[in-house]
Structure 1
Amino acid sequence: MMRDQATFEPAASRVTQPKFWGALPARWNSDTDDELVCCHVRQETHDVKSFFFRAPDERAFVFEPGQFITLELEIDGEPINRCYTISSAPTRPHTISITVKRVPGGKVSNWLHDNVVAGSRVRVLGPSGEFTCARHPARKYLFLSAGSGITPLMSMSRAHHELGDDADIVFLHSARTPDDIIFARELDLIASNHANFRTAFVCERVGARTNWPGITGFLSLPLLKLIAPDYLDREIFTCGPAPYMKAVRDLLDEGGFDRKHYHEESFSFETIAEVASQLTTAHVADALATDGELVEGNGFASAPIDTAIDTTYKVTFAKSRREIECGSGEHVLDAAKKAGVRLPSSCTQGMCGTCKVKLVSGEVAMKHAGGIRQREIDQGMVLLCCSKPLSDLVVEK
């Protein structure tokens, strides 16, 4: 039986193409468009997945490689915020991805692995963060990562690759076994396309892959000198577990590296939050007493708050043009959440630094647990989760 040629419509013409084809859409803004749709999930290793998201209204993502987003989730009736580094490159603005390792006992990582599939919707805040090579242009880079700490450095590598920028990059990644190396094939592809992009992998043990031709053991100064003899001339970016980053700092200090060209990021926000949730009140108090000393000047109080008199102050968020009220006995982050102001946060214990912002004017009393460096405090930065107002405030957010 012949079709009526006048009414026949080819299958291709019945497919609705995405609106962004042929034109770059408007920029995605988490302040107004806070929900993303998962469009793809990719298994990277036996315990690592990449989750790709797209804006429902097909907007473009603008960020710097190395930055992170904050997921606002509800798990078992409990609201939980968790930060994950963006693993995709800003050169592909139509989607954004995070790469998550399943952490034993980790509430969020296990929930993501078990529940998020194509079509799932999540609320997202950001992008945020200052750990990015975009703010530190250099002729030569050295990327050092371990485990899931590879994600921000992968975003940077993908960006250089897709821009056709054959920057001189040495990427040295440490993993437990060869089968735990995330993005191994893609890194090999980038290295094959760019003569000045070189990779090296160090595995603690060979695992099931007995024919592993690479290096086994741990990163050391002699090994670093072998792989990157000119490391003293490179801009170094490091991300991984805290013990790994401490080891890197120690060996670089031993080698005489100038720390002005060193940048690091702690990738495991979930681990920080899990640890913080297990601390007793006494432990937190000890941490605050030893690491969160109040300092004079730069908007910080040199004396404790008089909690007997609860004064209400005005907090103005300069960029979003929001104003809230916050009592002198209340943390600014808590007051902001009550007022419906969405801000990046994670551990809420002054440990992770996710809620770090610039204090434009005003004075606060801040007791942190190591989530902010002294040089950042000297520059007027504060952690909203552990800062209480002593005057009206203006925050650069």
Structure 2
Amino acid sequence: MARPPSFQRATVTRIIKESADSRSFILAPHDEPLVYQAGQFCTFRVPVDGKNLYRSYSMSSAPETDGELMTTVKRVPGGQVSNWLHDNVSEGDALEMSRAAGRFCLRPAVVPLLGFSGGSGITPVLSLTKSALASTDRQVRLLCADRDQPSVLFEAALRELAERYPGRLEVIRHLDSDRGFLTPDQVRAFVGADAHADAYVCGPEAFMEMIENALPGPGLVFSERFGAPAPGITAAAPAVAELADSMARPDPAAASPPAPAAPAASDAGGTVTIFLDRKTASVPTRAGETLLQAARRAGLTPPFSCEQGNCATCMARITEGSATMTVNDALTDDEVADGYVLTCQAVPDSPTVTVRYE
């Protein structure tokens, strides 16, 4: 059964300095333990300058191995939320966080697992590594690319995992400062005889695209993309822009990305009705306009973050009519069957649509 989106408070019990610009926050939810899978993320609601901003961060913990919940945030120059978390949150403070979401999870398999991470893309890859080592007999091999040694994350944690699971975990570090950017030939050399393995890829878009194109196959490839699409990347492939970016979706120098302009066409003969925060508004349907855009046009302030179908911050439920999502990298099949949509991706395909933000 699908669960409606909601936020609960969680106390920050500890803060760990992972690098000069990265912090891990150990969280203790107030209401109930967070149920999550390795590789998933949570959305955080943070008050910045009198406004609630929403950013999603991956878990660096794994339920099979960690009794504590941990998320890791890298400071982004100009990033509103990452800087606020680094500068304002202390041990004992409380944050608001959503349920877990995301599909960057382990599939049942016995083939080796190859992890490719660029910068802070190691965050969900670490979670997956912990889970695979603890719950399966699979071999795990990681190729981690970082800008330089001070930028390296989780070096001690991965070393401890290698000692705990001897012969099952291999970690190869690639520092751009020493060897230049990672190349397709180096990727193929790393893969070696494991071309049939499952590959999990997370990092900047250019890095991920290079990895995906270099992998020789026939193994399956699973990718986790964050933030707004880079130039030339279609809406079906949202991406991060820089190696230095945190795992937020997104946390760029500006606030949330601007919404695509609504079509110039007038109403298409239907009506969109939105229920949000005890308010109700209706607007004529516009061809090609998403439910999120319709809610804004109606004068409401719906929640959103990535606007790329990744984070589930804009999740709402259709109670009348129907809509089709262009991208869905966050909702489960059960949630979709129960009427939930990502409003940033959902375009009405019936004359009348009613949507409720819960």
The answer to whether TM tops 0.5 is yes
Deviation at 1:60, TM superposition (A): 2.4
Identify the residue that residue 9 of structure 2 maps to in structure 1: 35
Are 1:112 and 2:75 matched, yes or no? no
Secondary structure in 2 matching 1:152? helix
Query: CA separation of 1:161/1:387 partners in 2, compared to 1, >3 Å: closer, same or farther?
Result: closer
CA spacing shift, 1:334–1:56, aligned 2, 3 Å: farther
Distance 1:393 1:120 in 2: 38
Q: CA deviation at 1:62?
A: 1.6
The structure that is helix-richer by fraction is 1
Give the stretch that moved more between structures: 140-149 or 184-193. Answer: 184-193
Query: CA shift at 1:271, angstroms?
Result: 6.6
Counterpart AA for 2:163:
S
Letter aligned with residue 38 of structure 1? V
| SS in structure 2 at match of 1:40 | strand
Code of the residue aligned with 1:222 in structure 2: it is D
Which position in structure 1 is the counterpart of 2:131? 159
1:239/1:266 contact within 8 Å kept: yes
Q: What is the CA–CA distance in structure 2 between the aligned matches of 1:76 and 1:34, rounded to whole Å?
A: 21
Aligned to 1:205, the other structure's residue is in SS state: helix
| Equivalent position of 2:57 in the other structure | 84
Whole-Å separation in 1 of the counterparts to 2:119 and 2:354: 40
- Relative to 1, partners in 2 of residues 1:334 and 1:78: Cα closer, same or farther, differing over 3 Å? farther
Equivalent in the alignment of 1:296: none
Q: Is the alpha carbon distance of 1:226 and 1:308 closer, same or farther for their aligned partners in structure 2, counting shifts above 3 Å?
A: closer
Counterpart of 2:197 (choices 191, 216, 234) is 234
Tell me by how many angstroms 1:278 deviates. 8.2
CA distance in 1, matches of 2:198, 2:85: 34
Which protein is richer in strand relative to its size? 2
What residue is the counterpart of 2:162 in the other structure? 191
C-alpha contact 2:7 2:99 (8 A) present in aligned 1: no
Shift of 1:242: 1.0
2:234 paired residue number: none
Instruction: Determine helix, strand or coil for the equivalent of 2:39.
Output: coil
Where do residues 132-171 of structure 1 align in structure 2 (5 Å cutoff)?
Answer: 132-133=105-106, 135-163=107-135, 165-171=136-142
> Structure 1 127/280 Cα, relative in aligned 2: closer, same or farther at 3 Å?
closer
Q: Is the 8 A contact 1:364 1:391 kept in 2?
A: no
1:204 to partner: Cα distance: 0.4
8 Å CA contact 1:62, 1:93 repeated in 2? no
Q: Alignment partner of 1:233: what SS?
A: coil
Q: Deviations over 1:46-105 (max 9, x none)?
A: 111100110235x32221100000001110112100000011111256531111111111
- Return closer, same or farther for 1:225/1:247 CA change in 2, 3 Å cut-off: closer
Contact 1:81/1:346, CA 8 A, preserved across alignment:
yes
* Residues 1:40 and 1:64: Cα distance change in structure 2 (over 3 Å): same
CA distance in 1, matches of 2:209, 2:199: 14
Name which of 326, 345, 351 aligns with 2:308: 351
Deviation at 1:119, TM superposition (A): 0.9
Write the letter of the residue equivalent to 1:40: R
Q: Indicate the structure whose relative CO is greater, using CA pairs within 8 Å and at least 6 residues apart.
A: 2
Task: Give 1:228 shift.
Answer: 2.8
Between Structure 1 and Structure 2, how many residues are aligned? 320
Question: Secondary structure of 2:177's partner?
Answer: coil
1:245 and 2:196 equivalent? no
Which 5+ residue runs of structure 2 have no aligned equivalent? Answer: 227-245
Larger Rg, first or second structure (1 or 2) = 1
Structure 1 residues 105, 271: CA separation in 2 closer, same or farther (over 3 Å shift)?
farther
Equivalent position to 1:274, from 229, 234, 252? 252
Aligned to 1:391: 352
Q: Structure 1 residues 273, 116: closer, same or farther in 2, change over 3 A?
A: closer
- After TM superposition, the score normalised by the length of structure 2 is 0.74
SS at structure 1 position matched to 2:13: strand
Q: 1:54 aligns with which of 28, 32, 35?
A: 28
- Is 1:307 the counterpart of 2:270? The answer is no
CA contact (8 A) 2:323 2:346 kept: yes
Whole-Å separation in 2 of the counterparts to 1:365 and 1:140 = 36
- Does the 8 A contact of 2:133 with 2:140 survive in 1? no
Q: Which residue of 1 aligns with 2:73?
A: 100
Match of 2:99 in 1: 126
Shift of 1:250: 2.0
1:86 & 1:311 partners in 2: Cα distance? 39
User: Of residues 173, 176, 191 in structure 1, which corresponds to 2:147?
Assistant: 176
Q: Helix, strand or coil for the counterpart of 1:150?
A: helix
Q: SS where residue 124 of structure 1 aligns?
A: strand
- CA deviation profile, 1:179-211 (whole Å, cap 9, x unmatched): 2210111111211222121111100014xxxxx
Q: Which secondary structure does the structure 1 equivalent of 2:172 belong to? A: strand
- Residue 300 (structure 1) aligns with: none
Residue matched to 2:237: none
Judged with a 3 Å threshold, the aligned counterparts in structure 2 of structure 1 residues 176 and 336 are, in CA distance, closer, same or farther, namely same
Q: Deviations over 1:222-257 (max 9, x none)?
A: 3233333123110010000111111112212xx3x2
Cα distance in structure 2, aligned partners of 1:184 and 1:52: 18
- Matching residue's letter, 2:267: T
Deviations 1:136-192 (A, max 9, x none): 4342110000111001011111223444x4421111110011222101111112112
How large is the Cα RMSD of the aligned pairs? 4.1
Q: Scaled by the length of structure 1, what TM-score is found? A: 0.67
| Structure 1 unaligned blocks of 5 or more | 1-28, 207-215, 290-303, 316-321
